[in-house]
Structure 1
Amino acid sequence: MSYENEQLNEEKVFKDPVHRYVHVRDRIIWDLVGTPEFQRLRRVRQLGTSYLTFHGAEHSRFNHSLGVYEIVRRILDNFKDRPNWNKEQRILCLTAALLHDLGHGPFSHSFEKVFKLDHEDYTRAIILGDTNVNHILRRVDDDFPQKVADVINKTYEDKLVVSLISSQIDADRMDYLQRDAYFTGVSYGHFDMERILRVMRPMEDQVAVKESGMHAVEDYIMSRYQMYWQVYFHPVTRSAEVILTKILHRAKDLYESGYVFKFPPNHFVSFFEGNVDLQDYLKLDESVTLFYFQTWKEEEDRILSDLCERFINRHLFKYVEFNPNLQMSEWMELHKLFQKAGIDPDYYLVVDSSSDLPYDFYRPGEEGERLPIHLLLPNGELKELSRQSEIVEAISGKKRTDHKLYFPKDLIEGLSNRSKTKKRILEILYE
């Protein structure tokens, strides 16, 4: 039997709080889970700094990756013997689902922004480079790692395969919505996934959903909308992200200026210098990052020390609603007032904006165009979801944006009560 089709002697299961069990029968999946590159995902949280807002949000990219694999496995079981489905793509779908988040770094998106990195580039590098993951994938055939990378990169020729892990209704979203809702303890992210899986049908270039399952899909769309605004964009989480970002910026600036750290930041040097190789990237996870934050609390640099103390001990910045597009004069005045008060505005006065588009219809030619969700009517016709659902039509194409201004209220209140600067800062922030 070829490695691609090799089965374990006995099915392995992972006990999972969301899907009850994650089932593994394929030798290649079991081997991939055991690689150092995949085990590293245990040390990267799925929700970054959200654990400082929702204390249960300690789950990892490892949990999520297994969950996405399990959903795709169930979808493919339902696709068996259906028209338009090529069963030869099964192992490709399962491995791409398992490995789709392999390149995430510590605290994911905040980390990427500071060092101008893209986790998708590192996912490809792990799959295609000299790694344990690559060696296992090559046992299928020499081209197999490239196929897996292409599926994750959304460039694979069979768009139906791509749509299973990357579309507006995919296994990735279906897992993280339910998993994040479970671990944060909120009720918004729950929807009837079993119903959706039963009514999914393979079409030529994407998955469609039978019209009878439309209400389950509406529930899924609304749960995604609620999760973004109640969990992912929670202002306290964003405050922690702001401080995290500023810590990394400060450490990088100090390194570039020749500052001598008490404890050399060896794991960060290649990131500071902008020449990160794959091995350096794989050595850095959240446990290592938090170790440095603990040591940096003792640094002579007041700003780095203070920011690290705030992050480690959850002394976060406060926030007010603030639209920089409409309040530019107040922003500029605050910047000068902070400088006058001896509070560095580059690190302690931050506007943060969040935006989300919960569902979009097809807009050909647009950057990042999204394939819409299609309903399969009883007569075999396909109809775009928002044309059949009034609920989805109401939010289609509507981008919502939110702006907050973050600042250290304790430092402002620590200024002299007779200070005109303090009085004016408070007037602007709370008027």
Structure 2
Amino acid sequence: MTLAYKDQILTHEKIFRDPIHNDIQVQHQVILDLINSKEFQRLRRIKQLGTTSFTFHGAEHSRFAHSLGVYEISRQICDIFDRKYSIQNDPENGWNDNERLVTLCAALLHDVGHGPYSHTFEGIFNTNHEAITIQIITSPETEVFKILADVSPDFPEKVASVIRKDYPNPQVVQMISSQIDADRMDYLLRDAYYTGTRYGTFDLARILQVIRPHKHGIVFEASGMHAVEDYIVSRYQMYMQIYFHPVSRGMEVILNRLLHRAADLYKLDPTYYDNQMTLLIPFFNETYSLNDYLRLDDGVLNTYFTLWLDDSDAILSDLAKRFLYRKPLKSIQIQDLANQELCLKLTSLIEKIGFNPDYYTAQNTSSDLPYDFYRPDQDHPRTQIELINKDGSLRELSKSSALVAALTGQINRDARFFFPKEMKEHRETTNLFQADLEKFTTLLKTT
């Protein structure tokens, strides 16, 4: 009797060698087929950290590798739950291993909708990677959909509902998306490794020892509190030291302004690119299809940037050079109103010496909330981390950890004003701007 597609186990499991997890084990034919789909293979060509590699040169890893890592952590958790906490032994809180395949597929595909230089691209062309992920999973035109639909006709929608966070089993949803999930655990470890830093390292093995299913989702044994605490602090440090880095953000602003200039030129003259920009034109027109989106990756954009090096438009050409040759905008922090007022004057000065402020200045804010407890009155309340005591009672993490309590609900923001590096060498001679320039120069010495 031929096994149903969903039950087909590989005769010899497929192993992907990985610097974070050593061996990533693929046992299901469905998973292997998804990995080999064209939509998933595209993730090889999209960097996980976008412009961060301009600051930490090792950060060249892809969303493909990260997605495999999220799958692997989820696979290990499923194994632990099935072995130690099966629903047969604990009908109220246990794990039903029939949920394994939908969990693994959602883990693998959770980032399949990311675009080139994803967050910058999204901000300019009003795309949404989560919405496109769901579209890839549920659209009959994709290979991913066809593979999932061969499991069962309703299986693509089940996987999509995990991504949307409305799947009826909270254990599955929280394994993929919560304040301590397989996604975050992989990207912290992977990003720390490839940036050559140690900020994001934590004891994954210990967390996997103390993780448990619960009827309300996922909990952690109270004895493992310090491992969870370490994870929260590691995440906080990665945001402050890596993800908020001003040089990476200075390159991201250049990228943003470069794509804005390209779009503005097209709006002024739709024939401007003379059929050389066919892959971006649907986005300039705001008429793109899913197929148009899937044809883009980091390499496509970089090729266009190379073509723009010699463009007749001076701004487009200059911004392309600044991006490709790593010439980031400089920045100052603007946390208070006095600095805000200075930024307005500096914008005027920047324009006066020949830079168009629409393309050479920016106010950019990076923010993160390291941890928070459940707040039902918020639009998007977070699922709090629960510790389970030996008697089965639950206690929210910050109630047990003074360290986590100090971070709970505290939004970390870094607001900056970005400007051309040339301003550091410029000396305006008019009385109108001299005082401001001196104050500006003083601020530069501290950045």
> Which TM-score applies when normalising by structure 1?
0.97
What amino acid is aligned across from residue 26 of structure 1 in structure 2? H
3-state secondary structure, aligned to 1:406: strand
Task: Tell me the equivalent position of 2:257.
Answer: 246
Residue of structure 2 aligned with 1:330, choices 336, 339, 342: 342
Q: CA offset at residue 261 of structure 1? A: 2.7
Q: CA offset at residue 358 of structure 1? A: 0.3
- Is 2:427–2:437's contact at 8 Å kept on the other side of the alignment? no
Task: Tell me the equivalent position of 1:98.
Answer: 108
Count of residues in Structure 1 that have an aligned counterpart in Structure 2: 430
Residues 420/312 of structure 1: CA separation in 2 closer, same or farther (3 Å cut): farther
Task: Tell me the equivalent position of 1:357.
Answer: 369
3-state secondary structure, aligned to 1:267: coil
3-state secondary structure, aligned to 1:101: coil
Residues 106-255 of structure 1: pairs in structure 2 closer than 5 A: 106-129=116-139, 130-255=141-266
Q: CA offset at residue 244 of structure 1? A: 0.4
Q: CA offset at residue 351 of structure 1? A: 1.2
Distance in 1 of aligned mates of 2:440 and 2:286: 37
Q: CA offset at residue 265 of structure 1? A: 1.3
- Is 1:181–1:187's contact at 8 Å kept on the other side of the alignment? yes
Task: State the Cα deviation string for residues 386-428 of structure 1 (Å, max 9, x = none).
Answer: 0011111111111111111111122663x56645577455324
Distance in 1 of aligned mates of 2:275 and 2:248: 29
Q: Which runs of 5+ in 2 are unaligned?
A: 443-447
What amino acid is aligned across from residue 73 of structure 1 in structure 2? R
What amino acid is aligned across from residue 283 of structure 1 in structure 2? R
Q: Is 1:276 aligned to residue 288 of structure 2?
A: yes
3-state secondary structure, aligned to 2:307: helix
Task: Tell me the equivalent position of 1:6.
Answer: 8
Task: State the Cα deviation string for residues 47-92 of structure 1 (Å, max 9, x = none).
Answer: 0100100000000000000000000000000001523211111100
Task: Tell me the equivalent position of 1:306.
Answer: 318
What amino acid is aligned across from residue 60 of structure 1 in structure 2? S
> Which TM-score applies when normalising by structure 2?
0.93
Residues 196/416 of structure 1: CA separation in 2 closer, same or farther (3 Å cut): closer
Task: Tell me the equivalent position of 1:58.
Answer: 60
3-state secondary structure, aligned to 1:8: strand
What amino acid is aligned across from residue 409 of structure 2 in structure 1? G
3-state secondary structure, aligned to 1:228: helix
Percent identical across equivalent pairs? 49
- Is 2:342–2:436's contact at 8 Å kept on the other side of the alignment? no
Larger displacement relative to structure 2 (419-428 or 45-54)? 419-428
- Is 1:337–1:425's contact at 8 Å kept on the other side of the alignment? no
Larger displacement relative to structure 2 (199-208 or 62-71)? 199-208
Instruction: Compute the RMSD of aligned alpha carbons.
Output: 1.5
Residues 420/40 of structure 1: CA separation in 2 closer, same or farther (3 Å cut): farther
3-state secondary structure, aligned to 2:342: helix
Residues 419/266 of structure 1: CA separation in 2 closer, same or farther (3 Å cut): farther
Distance in 2 of aligned mates of 1:306 and 1:421: 29
Task: State the Cα deviation string for residues 21-70 of structure 1 (Å, max 9, x = none).
Answer: 10011000001000000000000000010010000000000000000000
Distance in 2 of aligned mates of 1:106 and 1:156: 29
Q: Which runs of 5+ in 1 are unaligned?
A: none
Residue of structure 2 aligned with 1:406, choices 418, 423, 426: 418
What amino acid is aligned across from residue 174 of structure 1 in structure 2? M
Distance in 1 of aligned mates of 2:421 and 2:255: 17
Q: CA offset at residue 333 of structure 1? A: 1.8
Task: State the Cα deviation string for residues 106-125 of structure 1 (Å, max 9, x = none).
Answer: 01111101111100111011
- Is 2:428–2:437's contact at 8 Å kept on the other side of the alignment? no
Q: CA offset at residue 329 of structure 1? A: 2.6
Q: CA offset at residue 326 of structure 1? A: 4.5
Task: State the Cα deviation string for residues 108-149 of structure 1 (Å, max 9, x = none).
Answer: 111101111100111011111111000000011110000101
Task: State the Cα deviation string for residues 371-393 of structure 1 (Å, max 9, x = none).
Answer: 11000101110100000111111
Distance in 2 of aligned mates of 1:103 and 1:429: 42
Distance in 2 of aligned mates of 1:142 and 1:349: 51
Q: CA offset at residue 429 of structure 1? A: 2.1
- Is 2:176–2:183's contact at 8 Å kept on the other side of the alignment? yes
What amino acid is aligned across from residue 63 of structure 2 in structure 1? R
